[in-house]
Chains A and B, each alone.
Chain A
Amino acid sequence: DAGITQSPRHKVTETGTPVTLRCHQTENHRYMYWYRQDPGHGLRLIHYSYGVKDTDKGEVSDGYSVSRSKTEDFLLTLESATSSQTSVYFCAISAKPSGQETQYFGPGTRLLVL
């Protein structure tokens, strides 16, 4: 298995609070991704990174920010959590762009916003 960990694995928080999810990899891969998965919507890209301090928005980036100060860590921050952000969040990594190589996924973080 690719060396990807996500923390926390489960979190319950209240509306309006900031939340930070962490993705850590030991593979030294250049590309890192944050997805959310919801019933009826499937897997949707939030943000991705193509190098340290290089990030770009995905299709559902509103209300989320990311940071990547080291190759191994990619942080996802919900600036002010809302109930609509209750979801399962997955981090993924790849050594090359998606057009050239597969992505490897972490175990996911279940977030409940009350």
Chain B
Amino acid sequence: KQEVTQIPAALSVPEGENLVLNCSFTDSAIYNLQWFRQDPGKGLTSLLLIQSSQREQTSGRLNASLDKSSGRSTLYIAASQPGDSATYLCAVPSYGNNRLAFGKGNQVVVIP
């Protein structure tokens, strides 16, 4: 069974600092890894999807890296803004790739 862990569970940073969010997974035989954002009371929004053949993926201020062999991914958010305050979840396919296994999320607060 695929287990996904996200550390830290919660963090607060002052505006302008870079954010580093970590995700680890137990089964390295994955096709991809995804990062989602969830705002309070809302559904999840896909941020980045990294294929197993890629080492990183970038979208604006967001950069996600993937190290399959060590079972780790890191999401970097450059120059954080108050609007980045949200919960960030990572997910990997499991059970024959028809499902996603989610971490419990990194809850981020960016202080103006």
Name A residues whose Cβ lies closer than 8 Å to a Cβ of B. Answer: 31, 33, 40-45, 48, 50, 56, 58, 90, 92, 97-108
A103 to B43 CA separation, bound complex (whole angstroms)? 11
- Please, which residues of chain A bring their CB within 8 A of the CB of B99? 33, 45, 48, 58, 98
Establish whether residues A105 and B102, one from each chain, have CB atoms under 8 Å apart when the complex forms: no
A29 to B49 CA separation, bound complex (whole angstroms)? 19
Establish whether residues B93 and A99, one from each chain, have CB atoms under 8 Å apart when the complex forms: yes
Establish whether residues B93 and A105, one from each chain, have CB atoms under 8 Å apart when the complex forms: no
Q: Which of B43, B98, B104 contacts A98 (CB 8 A)?
A: B98
Question: Apart from A48-B98, A98-B100, what are 9 other A-B pairs with CB-CB below 8 Å?
Answer: A43-B44, A90-B43, A98-B94, A99-B31, A99-B93, A102-B34, A102-B49, A106-B43, A108-B42
CB distance from A27 to the nearest CB of B (A): 14
CB-CB nearest 5 A-B residue pairs: A99-B97, A105-B43, A99-B31, A42-B104, A99-B93
